[in-house]
Amino acid sequence: MAEGLWMFLKKFSKNFRDELIPIIEDIGIKLDEDQKINLVFEIMKMNLWIISKSLLADKDVLNELHKIYIYGHENLVKTNEEKVIITNQAEKELGEVFSKYYDAWDNDSGGNQSILSLAILEQLLNGGNPNKQLLNADLTFFVNTHVLTMLKAVLDFRNSFEIK
């Protein structure tokens, strides 16, 4: 199931990125090539968090999914020493982002996760730092809709599998 979730995550990540870029460009945020590459990694971490939030009880599957993400970074470097460093860094960054998103999640807000959406936008577009340009109703709505839609889609996906 973890491999299926990985394919699911990649599809959702690509669609999110393709829809996000025009929205941020419309409000005057331009990304250089390095920022666009970083955005891809941040979107994947966001979507990993959404999947993890949806499947908290499925620890084994989540551990496998996280390993796919973390050990996928090994392909970015050549030496074994670099592979250890980059996978440790990827795991650390994933934990930091997850912590930030769990802290921003509001159990009492129902479908309005505006604080979470702003935390996500700050992470995606400004290294986790506040930026008043990100206080934008269209951006917040876009991210909030993505989070809720993906939560539901993950649950539907999970229900189509028998988890052992």
Q: Is residue 149 part of a domain?
A: yes
pLDDT at 111: 76
- Chunked into runs of 10 residues, the chain (164 residues) has average pLDDT values of 91 96 93 94 97 92 94 90 94 96 90 92 94 91 96 89 56
What is the distance between the alpha carbons of residues 1 and 8, in angstroms, rounded to a whole number?
10
Number of domains the chain contains: 1
Q: What is the pLDDT of residue 158?
A: 84
Q: What is the pLDDT of residue 2?
A: 87
Residue type, 134: L
Show the domain range for 107: 2-159
Whether residue 164 is contained in a domain is answered as: no
Closest C-alpha among 150, 143, 152, 142 to residue 123: 143
Q: Looking at the domain assignment, is residue 32 inside a domain?
A: yes
pTM: 0.92
Residue with tokens 């996280």: 66
